[in-house]
Chains A and B, each alone.
Chain A
Amino acid sequence: MLTKFETKSNRVKGLSFHPRRPWILASLHSGVIQMWDYRMGTLLDRFDEHDGPVRGVHFHATQPLFVSGGDDYKIKVWNYKTHRCLFTLHGHLDYIRTVQFHHEYPWIVSASDDQTIRIWNWQSRTCVAVLTGHNHYVMCASFHPKEDLVVSASLDQTVRVWDIGALRKKTVSPADDILRLTQMNTDLFGGIDAVVKYVLEGHDRGVNWASFHPSLPLIVSGADDRQVKLWRMNDTKAWEVDTLRGHMNNVSCVMFHAKQDIIVSNSEDKSIRIWDATKRTGIQTFRREHDRFWILAAHPEMNLLAAGHDSGMIVFKLERERPAFCVSGDTVFYVKDRFLRYFEYSTQKEVQVAPIRRPGSVSLNQSPRTLSYSPTENAVLICSDVDGGSYELYIVPKDSAGRSDYLQEAKKGAGGSAVFVARNRFAVLEKSSNQVLVKNLKNEIVKKSPLPIATDAIYYAGTGNLLCKAEDRVTIFDLQQRLVLGELFRPLLLNMLFWSSDMESVALLSKHAVVIANKKLVHRCTLHETIRVKSGAWDENGVFIYTTLNHMKYCLPNGDSGIIKTLDVPIYITRVIGNNIFCLDRDGKNKLVTVDASEYIFKLALLRKRYDHVMSMIKNSQLCGQAVISYLQQKGFPEVALHFVKDEKTRFNLALESGNIQIAVASAKEIDDKDHWYRLGIEALRQGNVGIVEYAYQRTKNFERLAFLYLITGYLDKVGFMCKIAGQNNNLMGQFHNALYLGDARKRAEILENAGQLPLAYVTAATHGLTETAERLAAELGENVPSLPEGKSHSLLMPPAPLMACGDWPLLRVMRGIFEGGLDATGRAELEEDAAAAGADWGDEDLDIVDASEVVANGGDGFDAEEVEPNEEDGEGGWDLEDLELPPETETPKGCQQCSLCCICCAYTRHACQPNLDSEIFSGWGACSSREL
Chain B
Amino acid sequence: MKSMASSPPDQLFGLRNSFYVGAYQAAITSSQSLPAHDLSPDDLLERDALLYRSYLAIGSHQLVVNEIGPSAATPLQAVKLLAVYLSGDAANKESVVSRLQELLGDPAVGSNTILRLVAGTVFMHERDYAEALKHTSSGGTMELLALNVQIYLHMNRADHAEKQLRVMQQLDEDHTLTQLANAWVDLAMGGSKIQEAHLIFQDLSDKYPTTCMILNGKALCSIHMGNFQEAEALLLESLNKDAKDAETLANLTVCSLNLGKPATRYLNELKLSHPDHMLVKRMSSAEDLFDRACQAMA
Q: Which residues of A contact B (CB under 8 A)?
A: 376, 422-423, 425, 438, 440, 446-450, 463-464, 480-483
Contact = CB atoms under 8 A, between A and B. Distances in A.
Given A423-B203, A438-B174, A481-B14, 20 more contacts: A376-B199, A376-B202, A423-B199, A423-B202, A425-B174, A447-B3, A447-B172, A450-B5, A450-B6, A463-B203, A463-B207, A464-B207, A480-B3, A480-B13, A480-B174, A481-B10, A481-B13, A482-B3, A483-B9, A483-B13
What are the 10 A-B residue pairs with the smallest beta carbon separation, nearest first?
Answer: A481-B13, A463-B207, A483-B9, A463-B206, A482-B9, A450-B6, A446-B173, A423-B203, A376-B199, A481-B10
B4 interface: yes
23 contacts: A376-B199, A376-B202, A423-B202, A425-B174, A446-B173, A446-B174, A447-B1, A447-B3, A447-B172, A447-B174, A448-B4, A449-B3, A450-B5, A463-B207, A464-B207, A480-B3, A480-B174, A481-B10, A481-B14, A482-B3, A482-B9, A482-B10, A483-B13
Contacts of A440: 173
Contacts of A464: 207
A914 B9 CA distance: 84
Contacts of A480: 3, 13, 174
Contacts of A481: 9-10, 13-14
B196 to A, nearest CB: 10
Contacts of B13: 480-481, 483
A423 B203 CA distance: 7
A422 B203 CA distance: 8
B169 to A, nearest CB: 10
Contacts of B206: 463
Contacts of B5: 450
A422 to B, nearest CB: 6
A423 B4 CA distance: 22
- Chain A contact surface mostly: strand
Interface residues of B, number: 17
A480 B199 CA distance: 19
A483 B7 CA distance: 12
Contacts of B174: 422, 425, 438, 446-447, 480
A446 B10 CA distance: 19
Nearest to B173: A446
In this complex, which of B1, B3, B4, B174 has the most chain A Cβ atoms within 10 angstroms of its Cβ? B174
A69 to B, nearest CB: 67
A422 B173 CA distance: 13
B278 to A, nearest CB: 32
B87 to A, nearest CB: 34
Interface string B198-215: 010011001100000000
A480 B3 CA distance: 8
Interface in B1-49: 1, 3-6, 9-10, 13-14
A328 B5 CA distance: 34
B207 to A, nearest CB: 5
B86 to A, nearest CB: 31
A483 B1 CA distance: 18
Contacts of B14: 481
A448 B9 CA distance: 14
Contacts of A449: 3
Contacts of A376: 199, 202
In this complex, which of B1, B10, B203 has the most chain A Cβ atoms within 10 angstroms of its Cβ? B203
B201 to A, nearest CB: 12
A424 to B, nearest CB: 8
Interface in B197-237: 199, 202-203, 206-207
Contacts of B199: 376, 423
B119 to A, nearest CB: 30
Interface in B92-150: none
A422 B205 CA distance: 12
Contacts of A483: 9, 13
Contacts of A446: 173-174
Nearest to A438: B174
A5 to B, nearest CB: 45
Contacts of B3: 447, 449, 480, 482
A449 B4 CA distance: 7
Contacts of B10: 481-482
Contacts of A422: 174, 203
A18 B17 CA distance: 62
A231 to B, nearest CB: 62
Nearest to A435: B6
Nearest to B12: A481
A449 B202 CA distance: 25
Contacts of A450: 5-6
Nearest to B207: A463
A96 B199 CA distance: 73
Contacts of B173: 440, 446
Contacts of A438: 174
A373 to B, nearest CB: 16
Nearest to A376: B199
Contacts of B1: 447
Contacts of B4: 448
A853 to B, nearest CB: 55
Contacts of A463: 203, 206-207
Contacts of A447: 1, 3, 172, 174
A463 B203 CA distance: 8
A134 to B, nearest CB: 72
Nearest to B169: A446
A425 B179 CA distance: 13
Nearest to B206: A463
Nearest to A423: B203
Interface string B262-290: 00000000000000000000000000000
